[in-house]
């Protein structure tokens, strides 16, 4: 079964993309994406973005639509990866959007490159958010003043986050909490 999501801004505004119906896959809602990209409006154009737990690709495709130089989408589900690649082709964006099929923590253990913006939307209830943030920090995946978006359960304990990150914004919608951090230093 394929579902649809709509890109809300940028070059591909109003384009619909398909995504697979897979366990735990929940695209970031349009109103949350709108708020997030309002927060990031001056941080996306020409930047390199990392979309972890990419799922439907909503965040990575939205970033590319709004002028990101490159987006790497990391997703472990093979069906979801095929759909992500198909959507990149449909948008004629296969040169700017790279899809990597891998477990996120395994991927973050590999050769790092510094990203300007990272999106994390891990499956809920698996305690992956703080662990993933620490892998990003400790393994050199972030540029000096990188912005990091983290989507979690509404009531989430951020104890153990990297000490050199500061929270810039935080909101909730329904059962979802969404947060923007900046890496300092």
Q: How many residues does the chain have?
A: 185
Residue 2: which pLDDT band, with cuts at 50, 70 and 90? low
Q: Considering its fold, how many domains does the chain have in total?
A: 1
Q: Looking at 16-20, 31-35, 49-53, which range is the least confident one?
A: 16-20
pTM reported for the whole predicted model: 0.95
**Residue 118: which domain range?**
2-183
Give whole-number Cα distances, 93 to 85, 99, 115, 117, 142, in Å: 9, 11, 19, 19, 23
Q: What is the CATH number of the domain that holds 112?
A: 3.40.50.150
Q: What are the pLDDT digits (tens) for 102-126? A: 999 999 999 999 999 999 999 988 8
pLDDT at 48: 98
Q: What are the pLDDT digits (tens) for 63-96? A: 999 999 999 999 999 999 999 999 999 999 999 9
């Amino acid at each position: 079964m394929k579902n649809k999501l709509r890109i809300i801004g940028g070059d591909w505004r109003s384009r619909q993309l398909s995504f697979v119906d897979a366990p735990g896959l929940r695209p970031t809602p349009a109103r949350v994406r709108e708020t997030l990209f309002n927060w990031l409006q001056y941080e996306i154009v020409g930047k390199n973005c990392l979309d972890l737990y990419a799922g439907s690709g909503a965040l990575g495709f939205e970033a590319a639509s709004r002028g990101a130089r490159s987006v790497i989408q990391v997703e472990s589900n093979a069906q979801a990866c095929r759909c992500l690649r198909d959507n990149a082709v449909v948008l004629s964006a296969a040169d700017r959007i790279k899809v990597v099929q891998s477990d996120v923590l395994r991927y973050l253990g590999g050769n790092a490159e510094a990203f300007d913006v990272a999106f994390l939307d891990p499956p809920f209830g698996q305690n992956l958010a703080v662990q993933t943030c620490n892998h990003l920090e400790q393994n050199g995946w972030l540029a000096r003043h990188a912005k990091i978006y983290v989507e979690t359960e509404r009531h989430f304990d951020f104890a153990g986050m990297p000490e050199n990150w500061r929270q810039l914004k935080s909101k909730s919608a329904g059962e979802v909490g969404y947060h923007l951090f900046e890496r300092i230093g």
